[in-house]
Amino acid sequence: MFRTLIAALAATLALVMPAAAGSNVGAPPTFLSQADCFASTPDHESWLESIRGHVQDKPIPTALLQSLVPARAFAYARSAFDCRIVSYSSDGHAVLAYVIRPRMIGTSGKLPLLVYNRGGNGGYGKLDPLQVFMKLLPLAKSGFMVVASQYRDADEFGGSDVGDVMRLIDLSLEMPEVDAQRIFLLGQSRGAMMSYLVARQRDDITAMATIGGVSDLVAGLAWRPEMERVYRARIPGYGEDQQAALVARSAFHWVEQLPADMPVLLLHGEADDRVSVNDPIAMAARLQQLQRPHKLVVYPGDDHGLQGNWRSARDEILEWFRRAGDQGNAPR
């Protein structure tokens, strides 16, 4: 019941934007605007109230919110991280993103870049303040500059919106504290598709990881036919050539086009009801066939978001990235 409620909250909470006034103050020329994540909610109570006020017909018990993000965790986040909501231009679209930097930088003065690619489509699945605390801040705490695009409103589900992630990476590399030699992609659900599509176009990705990720939309549609509603609404030209549209977004069908030395970590719940566990199993088999560095971890009985094993999954991801960053390759 608790996990179901958390999943419902993450799916329904809307992005709480800070006040527009003064949002351009101090903004680097690479971003159209930027604002502190907590500008409109400077204390714990106002933050809790902002979340309660943005739930779509689903009341959140105060006690539950306080247990997820207690006052001490909120105070720590305010002091330990520079968390910004930025907007940037991508192919003529104004796109929102989170940019999160731990305030304590290592002696080298450089932070590896971790690009988090969210799941969902359109407005569904957009990152919200609760997900920032549960997913993004722990990654930044581990010593990464974390960036996460919300994608453009005109979502093409792996079409021109892939450029939004590409553009965010390029802008991030202009930040002096970012280590351009260590760039990592973390894709969840649809975000895995986005990560594969980005990696195919770049030669500077150190490693990537997926959570409940999709790599074969063709097989996925046969397993979950209701996704066709999303494809028809989002993918340009889907009605004219469905097979071509899905294959173009499915890394399973063009694995050989991914960087040969880029390690891929695939994490999946055995009981995932949105993306079949057979998807990463088949993808891992293709990577093995091509002798590409990879690792597959299947969590028995767990769901699409790995809620039963989130901490251990996060540890897997962080270790995978650290080893790839230190050695240039993850173990085969």
Give the span between the Cα atoms of 268 and 256, in whole angstroms.
22
What amino acid occupies position 101? R
In a domain, 231, yes or no: yes
pLDDT in tens, 263-309: 999 999 999 999 999 999 999 999 999 999 999 999 999 999 999 99
In a domain, 51, yes or no: no
Which structural domain, as residue segments, surrounds residue 115? Answer: 23-38+67-327
**pTM for this predicted structure:** 0.89
pLDDT in tens, 170-187: 999 999 999 999 999 999
Strands (E), 154-302: 178-188, 207-211, 264-269, 294-299
Number of domains forming the structure of the chain: 1
In 3D, which of 313, 329, 272 has the Cα closest to residue 138? Answer: 313
In a domain, 307, yes or no: yes
In a domain, 180, yes or no: yes
Domain CATH for 169: 3.40.50.1820
In a domain, 250, yes or no: yes
Q: Quick one: CA dihedral 185, 190, 196, 198, positive or negative? A: negative
CB 124 within 8 A of CB 15: no
In a domain, 177, yes or no: yes
pLDDT in tens, 217-246: 999 999 999 999 999 999 999 999 999 999
Residues 6 or more apart from 84 whose CB is under 8 A from it? 34, 35, 36, 37, 98, 99, 100
